[in-house]
Structure 1
Amino acid sequence: MCGIALIVSGLRIDLSSLLPGSVASAAKVEQPLLSIDDIKEALRRRGPDSLGSKKVFLHSEISYAAEQVMNLFLAEEVLDKPKCIAELYFIGATLQLRGRNPIIQPLADTSGNILIYNGEIFGGIYVRSDSNDAEVLLKALGKCCSCSSHEHIGACHETGKEQNSVPDLLSTIKGPWALIYWQASSRTTWFGRDAFGRRSLLVHWPTSEDSRLLLSSVSPPNSIDKSSDLGEDCGMREIHFWQELPCGVYSIRVGASKLDGNVVGEVKKHEWTDPMLLELTNWERTDVQPKPEELNVSGVVEAPVLLPSEAVLVALREAVRRRTAMNAMFKAAKWDKRQEVGHAPVAVLFSGGLDSMILAALLDDCLDPKYEIDLLNVSFDKESAPDRISAWAGVKELKRVSPLRRWKLVEIDADLSKLTLETKHVTSLISPAKTYMDLNIGLALWLAASGDGWICEEKIGNKINNYDYEECQCIKYKSEARILLVGSGADEQCAGYGRHRTKYRSGSWLGLHEEMKLDMQRIWKRNLGRDDRCIADNGKEARFPFLDEDVIRTLLGIPLWEIADLGQPSGKGDKKILRQVAKLLGLHEAAVLPKRAIQFGSRIARESNRKNFGSNRAANQASAGSVEISKLANLA
């Protein structure tokens, strides 16, 4: 829903259960690189509807009840905090897309529990169309067991009535989320992100340089500016300041140390408890290695059972519908009655390729015809970039399939040589990712998500590079859509990368399966956190229909040889199942398009190679994509 952060200071942190052999950190902070204002400003850049904060003061020699009273009445400006030993500072930025009434995070209940939430609940916990996810979740969390919540897993019976634990409740949520929750009765802070990492959450574990524990949706850009003044290596040191928090649920319970009696926050990680979620995260497919006769009868299923491609289409359509439902708050925000008819509430990150064409067609199925649809396309080579050419062709096919919809191709042109400040800013957004490939992808996503480009009117026929397109008079346009559909997860699950073909050739079906499994189990670290931060910086919320839990489960239930057949040429055997889905949607031209990554389709990789390595040839010799960004000065 936008962004969250927590700063824990004055508390010794025990990481021994996560990092065996580690010693509890000291509680003192000497001139930290990051201030609270730095983090607030980074979250404010995301264009939230509101930004709020709350403090919790921890005390060593007073009762829980007295501590609750102090936290209830002590204002942030009050400096006199009796016997205060530690401070928890919660920051919540809200881009509100659900709920009839506006909210300001952090949310607090009458028991002193505090929640900051960045996510959407699409299932598992019931949320009415006029309700807000965070408010519903806070109420549900308030009913969770706290008798021994730090260790407790599953239902609790100690209180005389069955209660879920916090990990048990969070395991049921379908949808992307990251959260931080203070459970006052147990003096426990819960935090984490969903099982696939669809929402960013960065962590700074205490170090000798900065002994605070910090959690944040994004790395503040001005912290890099500050550190770069301290020496030539400090810019990279700041890039290493943050880590992507591995997916899961964590807790910090505050208690007295057995050694010296001082108060220590003990960090633990908890397992998912929902059986379906465990099945998806293990990412095991029953049918991996086909028999010869199974290849010969591939795709034949007796009625009334759906064909594999039909089952995937049903799951994808429902995933898009869940992510684009127009609820009460969304329709009321920003748009008066005159603007409501015709505006575009949802946009698609659009290359004209297979994945984005499927998402656009499904969005057309799910969205009321009165709304327009923005298709955001970025190019670093204007009309000559492959993705711009395929986008023109894609819009033409979408108009043929759905002529009554107003499709708006938003052409976002960029010149890498003129993006010095923007490049520096995106470097902070992708942190802790640090390669030129990460930067290229991050820049392309960040510019595309801005929606700031041109749309065309007064169209006349023309042709370029053997593609028909509609030449037009362009007018300046900025997409105001707050929801952006992104095709992440399609390549990982359907064998869309070149390395999948390489693994298939060397290791056959089992090798292909293992490579795809590896991709899915590391997508949180390699892709999703970075992409979420770059998109959210524009006041947009990225939503990933291909990573819907039901879509993942549907794809895992299909034999691997129905998903892909890499013995066939590119554009046919790779992502075979999605090509069949495209044909079911009437997208016959898109169904045969080859895979093309955004950094190549937009041509930012070529421009980056020329800028940073002198030529494409030199960049290839240096394996430019994996080269780390060594110094900020090199970005100028």
Structure 2
Amino acid sequence: MCGIAFVLSGGRIVIAPSATAAAASGTRFSEEGKGVTVAELEAALRRRGPDSLGNHRVRLCPDDTILGDAGCDGGDDVVGGVGAAELCFIGATLQLRGAEPVSQPLVAQSGSVLVYNGEIYGGIHIDIDGNDTQSLLSSLESCCCCDPHIVVRDEAYPCCESVGKSVPQILSTIKGPWALIYWQTDSKTLWFGRDAFGRRSLLVHWPTPDDSRFILSSVSPSPFSRNNSASEVNGLESGADPDFSDHTKVSYWEELPCGIYSVHLKDLGNNATCMKEGSVIKVMKHDWTDSSLHTLIRWERKSVVPIVDGLIPDQSSVDNGNHQLSPSFSNSREAEDKTSDWLEKRDQQSDFSSSPANCITQSAHRLLIALRESVMLRTNVNRLYQADLNKLADDELAPIAILFSGGLDSMILAALLDQCLDFKWTIDLLNVSFDGQLAPDRVSSLAGLKELQRISPLRRWRLVEIDTDLANLKGESEHVMSLIHPSNTYMDLNIGIALWLAAGGDGWVNRSTCNMQESHRYKYKSTSRVLLVGSGADEQCAGYGRHRTKYRLGGWVSLDEEMRLDVQRIWKRNMGRDDRCISDHGKEARFPFLDESVIKTLLEIPLWEIAKLDDPVGKGDKKILREVAKMLGLREAAFLPKRAIQFGSRIARESNRKNFGSNRAANQASAGSVEVHQHTR
């Protein structure tokens, strides 16, 4: 996990979404930024990347010359030289992958600059113990340097065939979460963006009359999530691109929509839309060029409606490819064989015949293989990370932790992690409660721990009980408010606080519960730097109550449409917020259910095998994951109902009482959707 940022200032340059460039040309902007400073950005990013912090500055003159790096200052970001533009790159690193420490920003021999926050699990070759950022920079440096704003589509670049791929073509192939900012010096082009599902946060500040700078950042510094939630942007919203905004008042920060973007800064003087006011540079959004990625983004399922409504269709009515291993798994025989062998040891053999009764079992087996491979990719403890762990005492050796409610999703992740992780490591299970031992998630976590101990008695499982009282959280709540920004509802804040506290891992361990030799309860803070999170399971497997409502009112088609909407908006509703809250502790959130191969596998399975919402809660919702749980030997967890973290931890109840007087009053006010800064008791 890293924290990245970029500031473009000086030179009277205004960056605006393409549809708003004309409107921006008539807006008077200040020459100096009055908003966030580089020093404030660095302080916020350092919490995400505590191992190193660096910056690099490029000065670009109107005559197209580039001045040398002098380092970014921490003050008012004033740029020397009339008409010069300053490009300031900031990178803070949490070192988890690679054989040797690597500090960001990375600067190539050509002068190109890269700050990257992500992991690469496919699409670009990474050597064993290689570093993702270095490998990505090497691939990007081989790209063609055509002006990206003069071609209609990336494949039409005139020099791609003779020189190499375009930047969008390289980025479209990456499997895994990412956000990046890349300065391609030869073409004078700034590239930036985030992966198709928004699994890594990237915020954008579009220029305003008060602060004309263009800023990108993984997180908002605290002062600029408060008192900057509704800045007026004169003219910028008229006819705006709907991807960016549809309001006349916008936040200082916005979530950058998923995608690949570029800004071409060559010949600044010639590109001025309004010479008196300065150069208005438009942003270009590029198409994803990988066809398989397009399929996932569209989220189109092969089989939605059974031939006879309410009955599982004959096998011949199901797409012939639904029960074949996809090409991405055909090269993963080792993972498949290990899973099959393990299933036999669990006496969970199934007759994988083509009879209709076995369709769900076959599909669940396919999903189990995909999930296991996803967890394995995300839990490899490489040489550099192991070296850090070896400095710890034996009872602290827990490289990977799970945000653990004891529910279906976290239990599946725990069982799969047990298969993938060397037995010398302890697994930390992080559970947060705002009602002590009485919170539903605490009750289920204790039951879940016993079940994990039953299926894997040789593993050291450590349940970390993180207990707190909302009334005692003051400065912490304000800090989390800055992390969730630009999200600003009570529901966002409640979820954010619960995630932030759980990720911190600062709680208590009961030795007797965890089968340790002594029986007392002791204070413990988890040192795990990688956290597995179950995000994406409910969206893809019909786990929400609204899915049941949509199915009841509109049948299979309506259910499929609602699930597609959930997946396509997960970047804005969940992922950016959750990434910022978890990463604030210098820890990296990884989301196995949102792996590209897992998404692909689920889309190839008929919807009636994913969920059967005529059945009761705890049985028909997320039906396929319940089958996976049974295959893993998780008999009790397979029947647990869905419970959101804000309810399972009971923070929502405590928040309702504190801010609205009672649960009843909060329900009448629809408290979850109320904006925090607009509500006063």
Q: Is the 8 A contact 1:46 1:539 kept in 2?
A: yes
Distance (Å, rounded) in 2 between the aligned partners of 1:460 and 1:542: 24
**Contact 1:27–1:212 (Cα < 8 Å) also in 2:** no
Alpha-carbon distance in structure 2 between the residues aligned to 1:610 and 1:423: 16
Alignment of 1:492-507 (within 5 A): 492-507=539-554
1:163 aligns with 2:215: no
Contact (CA 8 Å) 2:389, 2:397: kept in 1 or not? no
Q: State whether structure 2 residue 491 is matched by structure 1 residue 437.
A: yes
Using a 3 Å threshold, how does the CA distance of structure 1 residues 185 and 30 change in structure 2: closer, same or farther? closer
Question: Does the 8 Å CA contact 2:400/2:532 hold for their aligned counterparts?
Answer: yes
- State the Cα deviation string for residues 454-488 of structure 1 (Å, max 9, x = none): 11114599xxxxxxxx9952100000000000000
Matches within 5 A, 1:455-534: 455-459=509-513, 472-534=519-581
Deviation at 1:302, TM superposition (A): 2.2
1:481-519 CA distance string (max 9 Å, x none): 000000000000000000000000000000000000000
Q: Which residue matches 1:105?
A: 104
Equivalence map 1:73-112=2 (5 Å): 74-76=70-72, 81-112=80-111
Percent of pairs with identical residues: 58
C-alpha distance in structure 2 between counterparts of 1:286 and 1:159, whole Å: 34
Q: Which amino acid aligns with 1:548?
A: D
Match 1:584 to one of 623, 631, 648: 631
Aligned partners of 2:612 and 2:623 also within 8 Å: yes
Corresponding residue SS for 1:121: coil
Alignment correspondent of 2:643: 596
**Given the alignment, which residue of 367, 375, 387 partners 2:421?**
367
Contact kept in structure 1, 2:406 and 2:449, CA below 8 Å: yes
- CA RMSD, aligned part only? 2.7
> Equivalent of 2:478, from 417, 424, 428?
424
Change (3 A) 1:536 1:21: same
Q: Following superposition of structure 1 onto structure 2, how do residues 219-298 of structure 1 map, counting pairs within 5 Å?
A: 219-224=220-225, 240-254=251-265, 255=268, 256-257=270-271, 259-260=273-274, 263-292=279-308, 295=312
Aligned to 1:411: 465
Structure 2 equivalent of residue 214 of structure 1: 215
Contact 2:21–2:281, Cα closer than 8 Å, also in 1? no
Cα pair distance change 1:324/1:26, threshold 3 Å: farther
Aligned to 2:617: 570
- Distance in 1 between the 2:80 and 2:532 partners? 47
After superposition, give the CA deviation of every residue in 1:409-456 in whole Å (9 maximum; x if it has no partner).
Answer: 000001000001111110110000010000000000000000000111
* 3-state DSSP of counterpart to 1:395: helix
Report the residue type matching 2:597 in the other structure: D
Aligned partners of 1:147 and 1:332: how far apart in 2?
A: 43
Q: CA deviation at 1:393?
A: 0.2
CA contact (8 A) 1:156 1:162 kept: no
1:135 aligns with 2:134: yes
Structure-1 residue corresponding to 2:68: 71
Aligned match of 1:34:
36
Q: Is the 8 A contact 1:156 1:163 kept in 2?
A: no
Distance between the aligned counterparts of 1:371 and 1:147, measured in 2? 49
- SS, match of residue 389 in structure 1: helix
Amino acid in structure 1 at the alignment position of 2:380: A
CA contact (8 A) 1:182 1:189 kept: yes
CA distance in 2, matches of 1:594, 1:473: 32
Q: Output the amino acid matched with 1:495.
A: A
Q: Does 1:4 align with 2:4?
A: yes
Give the C-alpha shift of residue 330 in structure 1. 1.4
Tell me the residue number matched to 2:123.
124
CA contact 1:378–1:448 (8 Å) conserved in 2: yes
Is the Cα–Cα contact under 8 Å of residues 202 and 243 in structure 1 kept in the other structure?
Answer: yes
Structure 2 gap ranges (5+): 232-247, 316-322, 324-351
Q: Which moved more, 1:437-446 or 1:123-132?
A: 123-132
Instruction: Give the distance between the partners of 1:501 and 1:334, measured in 2 at CA.
Output: 45
- Quick one: distance in 2 between partners of 1:585 and 1:222? 47
Match of 1:321 among 376, 380, 387: 376
Offset at residue 339 of structure 1 (A): 3.7
Match of 2:18 in 1: 17
Q: Is the 8 A contact 2:15 2:206 kept in 1?
A: no
What is the one-letter code of the residue matched to 1:91?
A: I
Aligned counterpart, 1:308: 363
**Match among 406, 409, 412 for residue 352 of structure 1:** 406
Offset at residue 89 of structure 1 (A) = 1.1
Question: SS at 1:295's partner residue?
Answer: coil
| Cα displacement (A) at 1:239 | 8.8
Q: CA deviation at 1:559?
A: 0.3
**Structure 1 residues 443-454: aligned runs within 5 Å:** 443-454=497-508
Given that 1:149 and 1:166 are in contact with CA atoms closer than 8 Å, whether structure 2 keeps it comes out as no
Shift of 1:12: 2.3
Q: 1:339 to 1:157 in 2, by over 3 A?
A: farther
Moved more, 202-211 or 615-624: 202-211
Q: Taking structure 1 as reference, are residues 112 and 84 closer, same or farther at Cα in structure 2, changes over 3 Å only? A: farther
Q: Could you say what secondary structure the match of 2:402 adopts?
A: strand
* AA aligned opposite 2:37: S
Q: Distance in 2 between matches of 1:379 and 1:145?
A: 53
Deviates more, 1:23-32 or 1:595-604: 23-32
- How far is the alpha carbon of 1:275 from its aligned partner? 0.3
Q: Which residue of 1 is the match for residue 434 of structure 2? A: 380
CA distance in structure 1 between the aligned counterparts of 2:538 and 2:484, rounded to whole angstroms: 21
Structure 2 residue aligned with 1:115: 114
Give how far 1:75 is off.
5.0
Structure 1: which 5+ residue stretches go unaligned? 231-236, 462-469
Q: Retained in 1: the 8 A contact 2:370–2:601? A: yes
Q: Once structures 1 and 2 are overlaid, which stretch shifts more, 253-262 or 562-571?
A: 253-262
Maintained 8 Å contact 1:180/1:190: yes
Measure how far apart 1:587 and its partner are: 0.2
- CA–CA separation in structure 2 for the residues paired with 1:50 and 1:625: 38
Tell me, in whole angstroms, the C-alpha distance in 2 between the residues paired with 1:6 and 1:632. 34
By how many angstroms is 1:71 displaced?
2.2
What CA distance in whole angstroms lies between the structure 2 residues aligned with 1:479 and 1:370?
16
1:177-235 CA deviation, whole Å, 9 max, x = no partner?
0000001111111000000000000111111121111111111113346769x9xxxxx
Q: What is the TM-score of this pair, normalised by structure 1? A: 0.91
1:2 positional shift:
1.8
TM-score, structure 2 as length reference: 0.85
- 1:292 positional shift: 2.4
Aligned-partner SS, 2:520: strand
CA distance in 2, matches of 1:311, 1:189: 41
> What is the one-letter code of the residue matched to 1:566?
L
1:316-345 Cα offsets, whole Å, 9 max, x none, are 000000000111221123532x64686000
Q: Which residue of 1 aligns with 2:55?
A: 53
Distance (whole Å) between structure 2 residues aligned to residue 75 and residue 535 of structure 1: 29
Question: For residues 626 and 259 of structure 1, do their structure 2 counterparts lie closer, same or farther at Cα, with a shift above 3 Å needed?
Answer: closer
Count of residue pairs the alignment pairs up = 613
Q: Is the counterpart of residue 609 in structure 1 residue 625 in structure 2?
A: no
